[in-house]
């Protein structure tokens, strides 16, 4: 019997691309023929680098390049380059219709991003191809998205004025945790969610990079129909493994950081002594906030490895570290730590024994990597799903979250407050013990007999039956 052929269709942004590539490598390793529908051109250099690196590693995984049609701006509020590409993709999905029919062997299933799920589902069902959706955020934030069409948040009257909402499956949710674009029905983001949630009753399954040991209540609420009565089954497959794992060289100079001296420095540090600071691939703090963070890091006296970003899109991020942080800071902290710009292999840094804490914006990939690798988090959510993800971190005892720091740009958090939180996290013995325990639960979930492994076997069995 020929293996089933599965296509994966990630959307814009590395936070979507990485989990799709990780899942692609996973199902390929389980004997499926895999095609990745890859955006071309990508918004960020990181995405195109990641894609070429992936196809070099996995020459047997096929690539179809997908070039969205020229973008006609709609009336919806949307000024984010990544979201603009999502809008262009949504307007171009029909191009895939004839392409999907010509693939050989014929496709048995397609795994789509949520932002184009309705269109993909329509095309796929006309060809008897099954559709799955891969959700790239937490089960908790996904639950909120799933509730959005029903809530019609804005229309239901003065939600912004309320302090909290009682939501099925989520309990009491502070309104301040809901991303403001979701409260605006004219925002592109709201319309994307509302137009793609209804099709989730027709898809074959909803795949998630989470696990029952991390988000049991949300997964249960989704699967028991408390959020949407006829929702397709949620398969919690996480935490995903990095796709390059087979080729993983031992951590060492040149393998993860741009300069050998930087990595050598990390190798020389005591176990669990270094704070890693990164706000993901598309979040730049304001200049003032960056300087307060700089002061906080210095005052904490903690060893640090800081990945700096001063622009949302990496191609436009040209200012150097010296001009942002100042020579005198770099000189004073020469022994304390390292600040660099550019792409690093975050998963491998988090795996380094010297890393003892992570200041993170709580992008869901970053959270699941820290959980898988047992690194405590100081959550500093900036926008989007990040406060919901931070709530998962806090409620499971995997980190600290200073809620009064607000959304990114809402207020200027003082260096002294940052220093205090850094020390609290780095010195928290109970926190570290809890994080280690959850790391072990995550490991067991992926072993034979574990929950995530069980869901994955189920998925692969289903794919094989559809063949
Ligand atoms: N990442 C990385 N190196 C970097 C920046 C990011 O490897 O320099 C990876 C990170 O490990 C994660 C992803 O890019 O897998 C970022 O996704 P996340 O959901 O954490 O945040 P986003 O960038 O989407 O805000
Ligand atoms: N790379 C990059 N941007 C990315 C992903 C990778 O520039 O988004 C580069 C990275 O700097 C390295 C190569 O691609 O030169 C391989 O990347 P990765 O760090 O993922 O794996 P490694 O080189 O550590 O095996
Ligand atoms: N998001 C949002 N408002 C924003 C930015 C993002 O509600 O201003 C949503 C976004 O659509 C996604 C989640 O929050 O579902 C994370 O978005 P982001 O692009 O920041 O991270 P990524 O999806 O790349 O991990």
> Dihedral through CA 300, CA 342, CA 356, CA 19, nearest 10?
140
For 109, the token pair is 């299933």
- Specify whether the CB–CB gap between 3 and 32 falls below 8 A: yes
387-402 pLDDT, tens digit per residue, is 999 999 999 999 999 9
Q: Which token pair is 290?
A: 């960056």
pLDDT band at 344; cut points 50, 70, 90: confident
Contacts of 53 (CB under 8 A, 6+ apart): 244
Average pLDDT score over residue span 13-25 = 97
Domains of the chain, first to last: 5-244+447-466 (3.40.50.2000), 260-442 (3.40.50.2000)
Is 283 within 8 Å of 307 (Cβ atoms)?
A: no
Alpha carbon of 184 to ligand 3 centroid (Å): 15
| More confidently predicted of 432 and 82 | 432
pLDDT exceeds 60 at position 446: yes
pLDDT given at position 152:
64
Ligand 2 touching residue 314 (CB < 6 A): no
Residues 119-139 have pLDDT tens digits of: 999 999 999 999 999 999 999
Here the tokens at position 180 are 């403001």
% pLDDT > 70, the chain? 94
- Placement of tokens 């096929």 in the chain: 62
d(CA 128, CA 110): 11
φ and ψ at residue 262, rounded to 5 degrees: -60, -45
Count other C-beta atoms under 10 Å from residue 250's C-beta: 5
The answer to whether the beta carbons of residues 369 and 347 sit under 8 Å apart is yes
- Residue ranges of alpha helices (H) inside 103-173 are 117-126, 139-151
pLDDT at 251: 42
Q: Which is the catalytic residue, given 5, 16, 352, 361?
A: 16
pLDDT at 331 over 90: yes
Q: Which long-range contacts (CB under 8 A, 24 or more apart) does 230-233 make?
A: 230/201, 231/146, 231/200, 231/201, 231/206, 232/133, 232/200, 232/201, 232/202, 232/203, 232/204, 232/205, 232/206, 233/205, 233/206
pLDDT in tens, 152-195: 655 555 676 788 888 999 999 999 999 999 988 888 899 999 99
Mean pLDDT score of the chain: 92
Q: Which residue's alpha carbon is nearest to atom 9 within ligand 3?
A: 384
Query: Which residues have CB under 6 Å of ligand 3?
Result: 13, 15-16, 82, 136-137, 179, 181-182, 189, 363-364, 383-385
Residues 6+ apart with CB under 8 A from 4: 32, 33, 108, 109, 463, 464, 466, 467
Residue 426 scores a pLDDT above 70: yes
Q: Write the burial class of residue 441 (CB in 10 Å: 0-12 exposed, 13-18 middle, 19+ buried).
A: middle
How many CB atoms are located within 10 Å of the residue 88 CB?
18
380: exposed, middle or buried (Cβ count in 10 Å: 0-12, 13-18, 19+): buried
Residue 255: pLDDT band with limits 50, 70, 90:
very low
Distance 343 CA to ligand 2 centre (A): 7
pLDDT computed for residue 299 by the predictor: 98
> For ligand 2, what atom is nearest to the CA of residue 47?
8
pLDDT at 250 > cutoff 50: no
Q: How far apart, in whole angstroms, are the C-alpha atoms of residue 134 and residue 422?
A: 34
On the question of pLDDT at 256 being above 50, the answer is no
**Cα 28 to ligand 3 centre (Å):** 28
Supply 178's token pair: 């809901």
pLDDT confidence of residue 73: 76
Ligand 1 atom with least separation from CA of 360: 20
What local confidence, expressed as pLDDT, does residue 318 receive? 84
Confidence of residue 19 (pLDDT cuts 50, 70, 90): very high
Catalytic residue (choose from 80, 113, 347, 385)? 113
Ligand 1 mutation target, pool 363, 364, 382, most atoms within 8 A of CB: 363
Percentage with pLDDT > 90 across the chain: 79
What are the CA-CA distances from residue 258 to residues 44, 180, 253, 267, 318 (Å)? Answer: 18, 37, 9, 15, 16
Report the b/e string of 46-57 with b at 16+ CB within 10 A: bbbebbeebbee
Q: Lowest-confidence range among 339-353, 362-376, 440-454?
A: 339-353
Q: Is the pLDDT of residue 246 over 50?
A: no
Can you give the pLDDT at residue 70? 86
Query: Could you tell me which of 145, 179, 186 has the C-alpha nearest to residue 382?
Result: 179
- pTM of the shown model: 0.91
* Residue 128 DSSP one-character state: T
Q: Which of 203, 159, 344 is nearest to 266 (CA)?
A: 344
Q: Residues 208-236: what's their mean pLDDT?
A: 97
53 lines ligand 2 (CB under 6 A): yes
ipTM for this prediction: 0.87
Spacing, Cα 47 to ligand 3 middle (Å): 16
User: Rounded to a whole number, what is the distance in angstroms from the first to the last CA of the chain?
Assistant: 9
Tell me which of 339, 365, 368 to substitute to probe ligand 1's pocket, judged by most ligand atoms within 8 Å of the beta carbon: 365
- CB of 282 within 6 A of ligand 1: the answer is yes
> Per-residue pLDDT tens for 287-302?
999 999 999 999 999 9
- How high is the pLDDT of residue 345? 86
Half-sphere exposure of 254 (CA within 13 A, CB side): 0
Report whether 37 contacts 64 (CB < 8 A): yes
Identify which of 88, 86, 250 has the alpha carbon closest to the alpha carbon of residue 181: 86
CB 188 within 8 A of CB 87: yes
State CA 268 to chain mean position distance.
Answer: 30
């Amino acid at each position: 019997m020929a293996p089933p052929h599965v296509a994966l269709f990630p959307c814009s942004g590395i936070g979507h691309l990485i989990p799709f590539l990780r899942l692609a490598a996973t199902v390929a390793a389980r004997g499926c023929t895999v095609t990745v529908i890859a955006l071309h051109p990508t918004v960020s250099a990181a995405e195109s680098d990641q894609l070429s690196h992936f196809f070099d590693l996995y020459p047997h995984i096929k690539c179809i390049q997908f070039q969205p049609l020229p973008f006609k701006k709609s009336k919806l509020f949307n000024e984010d380059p990544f979201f603009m590409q999502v809008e262009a993709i949504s307007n171009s999905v029909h191009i895939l219709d004839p392409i999907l029919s010509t693939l050989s062997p014929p496709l048995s299933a397609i795994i789509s991003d949520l932002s184009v799920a309705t269109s993909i589902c329509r095309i796929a069902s006309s060809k008897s191809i099954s559709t799955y959706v891969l959700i790239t955020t937490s089960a908790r934030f996904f639950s909120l998205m799933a509730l959005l069409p029903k809530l019609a948040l804005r229309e239901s009257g003065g939600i912004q004025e309320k302090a909290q909402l009682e939501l099925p499956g989520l309990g009491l949710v502070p309104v301040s945790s809901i991303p403001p674009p979701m409260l605006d029905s004219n925002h592109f983001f709201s319309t994307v969610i509302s137009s793609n949630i209804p099709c989730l009753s027709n898809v074959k399954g909803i795949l998630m990079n989470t696990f029952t040991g991390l988000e049991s209540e949300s997964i249960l609420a989704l699967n028991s129909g408390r959020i949407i009565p006829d929702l397709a089954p949620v398969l919690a497959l996480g935490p995903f493994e990095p796709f390059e794992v087979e080729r993983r060289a031992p951590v060492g100079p040149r393998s993860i950081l741009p300069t050998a001296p930087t990595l050598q420095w990390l190798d020389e540090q005591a176990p669990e002594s270094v704070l890693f600071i990164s706000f993901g691939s598309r979040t730049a703090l304001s200049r003032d906030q960056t300087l307060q963070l700089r002061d906080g890091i210095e005052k904490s006296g903690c060893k640090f490895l800081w990945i700096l970003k001063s622009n949302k899109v990496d191609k436009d991020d040209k200012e150097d570290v010296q001009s942002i942080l100042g020579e005198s800071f770099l000189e004073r902290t020469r022994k304390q730590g390292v600040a660099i710009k550019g792409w690093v292999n975050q998963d491998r840094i988090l795996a380094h024994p010297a890393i003892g804490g992570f200041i993170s914006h709580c992008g869901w990939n970053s959270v699941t990597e820290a959980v898988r690798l047992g690194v405590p988090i100081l959550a500093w959510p900036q926008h989007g799903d990040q406060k919901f993800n931070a709530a998962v971190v806090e409620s499971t005892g995997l980190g600290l979250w200073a809620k009064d720091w607000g959304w990114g740009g809402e207020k200027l958090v003082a260096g002294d407050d940052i220093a205090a939180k850094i020390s609290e996290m780095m010195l928290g013995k109970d926190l570290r013990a809890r994080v280690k325990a959850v790391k072990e639960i995550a490991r067991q979930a992926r072993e034979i007999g574990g929950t995530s492994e069980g869901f994955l076997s189920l998925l692969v069995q289903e794919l094989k039956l559809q063949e």
